Structure 1
């Protein structure tokens, strides 16, 4: 969960200028030609790509393995899986942020595997194997994400888990919005969704198809996924007759990211504990 506040600010500005169309997430490529053109312009904007510190070198050396699976568009998708020590049909999908599926995300997946015994954890790769090490690379990779392809990857992962799998998802900013989209795409197999400061789905008709409640974690000082956006999400979920639990911290965007200067350890630890408790409840795990 690298420093993404500049990224989200830029994208929300683009969406406001371009159209009122629904976006997939705060950092995902919005649909529609006008929004796409605006997004493409942002990829060359210095504020957009230059305000992010490159991740420090880090190598994950724990358990888990890279997997490949068929996607619904006839191609192949990638992920990083940590299997449960015991056979299980419970799966947690972890959605990366704008750097891609790097070793930091693998470490996050490993932590959730440790916190949730009996759950298979898969960190999905929405960048098809590309991992950014510089802001310029991250901007190009994120810009290249096509909604149809990302949806095919998510659907392929659900098929990989199997028709009897119970699927929950979690992600931050880019991944936060895609966590909610994953819950929508998983259909009746969805049993949980945690989204950290990601752009909510705004189509009430789509929200009506959710098969799970949602835990939304936000920051009151966030200038882009702000309290107004969160309040509208609550209204939309109410209109869809779906349950959403909102936890807002008196912090800034990306407060749960240890590498972010705005990191708040107390709030980050609390949000993580809240997420684990929520997932344990929804997976019906023993405490």
Structure 2
């Protein structure tokens, strides 16, 4: 019996030493609202990482079937990476150098976004509306598909598309942008890329830029629409954005609603018709003021 115990002890000792020397298994990636992105990750990459979180994906129900039939047409333009991209445009009835870039959420440029573009076209007379497609023609119908598409977006390609549409708008263009969720973060990036052409920026619960040096280059103020129940773009994130904008000496107007992430999306289970309508009115008033529209 004594020999058996001695042998067991020896085996346990060997196993313990092997465990100590072997590298620990990497835990499965888990993003939370406060998780830090990997070194070098920027704001849009950090937001894309949320697609790995089941709670985030599970909070987005698939959009209900909807088909847009109205004004507008698909356009194609050259991008700065030597390729081409497509977008949905509703031109102003009068010649205008004023442009509103509408940036889709994580589903892609679907008919819901075309409908939003049409709504802005009716309310912002004298403004050209262009709904960008940062997914290069791909549209998701399930949360799993949307997460994969959002993660697959390369910053270089998205920026090339935005730079391309800025060139399409022309050298005298006055540009504002609006986007939701994934598109909210890219709305801010669009304002940064637009440089002196930028006259407005609206971001609905999107990831803010965290590089103060970049924020200092903004040529416009920012209207941020956020939700106090949002676990992802939470109040800590929003508070830090306010501080960063203050350091950058740029104006940001933050409007919080007692709602959850994606509350302005009619197909989302957390949709708030009341708050969505209130936010939309604020956004239209902001855009009219920044575009200096009359009437």
Q: Quick check: TM above 0.5? A: yes
Asked if 2 retains the 8 angstrom alpha-carbon contact of 1:91 and 1:122, the reply is: yes
- Report the Cα distance in structure 1 between the residues aligned to 2:45 and 2:275, rounded to whole angstroms: 23
Q: Which has the larger radius of gyration?
A: 2
Give the equivalent residue in structure 2 for 1:194: 202
Residues 25 and 112 of structure 1: is their aligned pair in 2 closer, same or farther, counting only changes over 3 Å? farther
- Report the Cα distance in structure 2 between the residues aligned to 1:221 and 1:21, rounded to whole angstroms: 25
- Structure 1: 5+ residue stretches without partners: 1-9, 30-38
Give the equivalent residue in structure 1 for 2:132: 124
Residue-by-residue CA offset, 1:227-256 (whole Å, 9 max, x unaligned): 111111111001001011111111111111
- Report the Cα distance in structure 1 between the residues aligned to 2:255 and 2:117, rounded to whole angstroms: 22
Moved over 4 A (4+): 10-15, 45-51
Give the equivalent residue in structure 2 for 1:178: 186
- Report the Cα distance in structure 2 between the residues aligned to 1:12 and 1:153, rounded to whole angstroms: 30
Give the equivalent residue in structure 1 for 2:121: 113
Residue-by-residue CA offset, 1:107-148 (whole Å, 9 max, x unaligned): 000001111010000000000011112222222211210000
Give the equivalent residue in structure 1 for 2:78: 70
- Report the Cα distance in structure 1 between the residues aligned to 2:32 and 2:63, rounded to whole angstroms: 24
Give the equivalent residue in structure 2 for 1:36: none
Residues 159 and 93 of structure 1: is their aligned pair in 2 closer, same or farther, counting only changes over 3 Å? same
- Report the Cα distance in structure 2 between the residues aligned to 1:158 and 1:28, rounded to whole angstroms: 24
1:158 aligns with 2:178: no
Among candidates 83, 90, 98, match of residue 82 of structure 1: 90
Query: How many pairs align?
Result: 266
Instruction: Quote how far apart the aligned CAs of 1:199 are.
Output: 0.8
- Report the Cα distance in structure 2 between the residues aligned to 1:209 and 1:65, rounded to whole angstroms: 33
Within 5 A, what are the aligned runs for 1:164-243? 164-243=172-251
Residue-by-residue CA offset, 1:190-218 (whole Å, 9 max, x unaligned): 00000001110000000000000000011
Give the equivalent residue in structure 2 for 1:101: 109
- Structure 2: 5+ residue stretches without partners: 1-29
Give the equivalent residue in structure 1 for 2:18: none
